[in-house]
Amino acid sequence: MDNSQMKRGIVIKDDWPGYSLDLFTYPEHYHEDIESVYIPHGVIMNRTERLARYIMDDFGDSNIMVLCVLKGGYKFCADLVEFIKVLGCNSSRYLETRVEFIRLKSYLNDQSTEDLHIVGSRDLSFLRGKSVLIVEAIVDTGKTMKALLQHVETFEPKMVKVAGLLVKRVPNMAESLTDYVGFEIPNRFVVGYALDYNEYFRDLNHICVISKTGKMKYKV
Ligand code: HPA
Ligand code: MG
């Protein structure tokens, strides 16, 4: 596989049912609310470490301004930055990272709503001339990401790359927007590793498929 293909993510096929819950540990209170373990935490971590290496290679000697998209991106971002730090300590090139947070909201229940709200964004003018890495948990249609990229570009950064832990195979998927993809997944609603369903399931380490019971229980 060439390098650009590897950055496109590990492809999870449509018929992948996930692992049986009995094979892993998870918080007992979610017992009835999840159907299967879709991506185990350890696999997420290994893939994230690999993405950190691609990022180190591409950013060269420029320091990285990390823009973490909250709330879903917080775990991926924290782990990714940690791996970039460790890799730097173990080589002669240490990339300085600075992390800023931006909050977007576009989902209610498991449906995307039309409008994008940038909720927690202060002035981003410090991005001018900098190498920026946007870190997002999940990219599907790319509408949110496109809007965010446009917003970031107005501050004239030197370069902008996007790391997405998950890219969803939806009609008109925005593949080319995400430079570093962890996993390409089918069009299913997943939770865990900071991904939520109405604010629930962020405290689950694995990425899991929510059950019918879970969807009903936490519906708003
Ligand atoms: N899970 C959680 N949040 C999301 C998803 C998902 O599958 N897609 C977009 N936001
Ligand atoms: Mg959400």
Q: Is residue 59 part of a domain?
A: yes
Distance of alpha carbon 145 from alpha carbon 134, whole angstroms: 9
Cα 49 to averaged position of ligand 2 atoms, centre (Å): 24
Distance of alpha carbon 85 from alpha carbon 149, whole angstroms: 25
Cα 143 to averaged position of ligand 1 atoms, centre (Å): 13
Q: Is residue 61 part of a domain?
A: yes
The number of folded domains in the chain is: 1
Ligand nearest to the CA of 104: 2
Distances (CA, A) of 121 to 4, 90, 103, 138: 32, 34, 7, 19
Distances (CA, A) of 123 to 118, 154, 161, 170, 183: 12, 11, 20, 33, 32
Q: Which domain holds residue 98?
A: 41-185
pLDDT tens string, the chain, 220 residues long: the values are: 667 778 889 999 999 999 999 999 999 999 999 999 999 999 999 999 999 999 999 998 789 999 999 989 999 999 999 999 988 877 777 778 999 999 876 656 676 665 666 776 668 899 999 999 999 999 988 888 888 898 899 999 999 999 999 999 988 776 689 999 999 999 999 999 999 999 999 999 999 999 999 999 999 9
The pick from 38, 39, 165, 191 for probing ligand 1's pocket by mutation, whose C-beta has the most ligand atoms within 8 angstroms, reads: 191
Q: Is residue 93 part of a domain?
A: yes
Write down how long the chain is: 220
Buried b (16+ CB within 10 A) or exposed e, 197-212: beebbbebbbbbbbbe
Distance of alpha carbon 42 from alpha carbon 199, whole angstroms: 23
Distance of alpha carbon 112 from alpha carbon 104, whole angstroms: 12
Q: Is residue 121 part of a domain?
A: yes
Q: Please give the positions annotated as active site.
A: 140
Closest CA to 18 of 215, 210, 220: 210
Residues with Cβ–ion distance below 5 A, ligand 2:
107, 196
| CATH number of the CATH domain containing 69 | 3.40.50.2020
Q: Is residue 111 part of a domain?
A: yes
Q: Is residue 204 part of a domain?
A: no
Q: Is residue 194 part of a domain?
A: no
Q: Is residue 10 part of a domain?
A: no
Residues forming beta bridges with residue 197, ordered by sequence position: 200
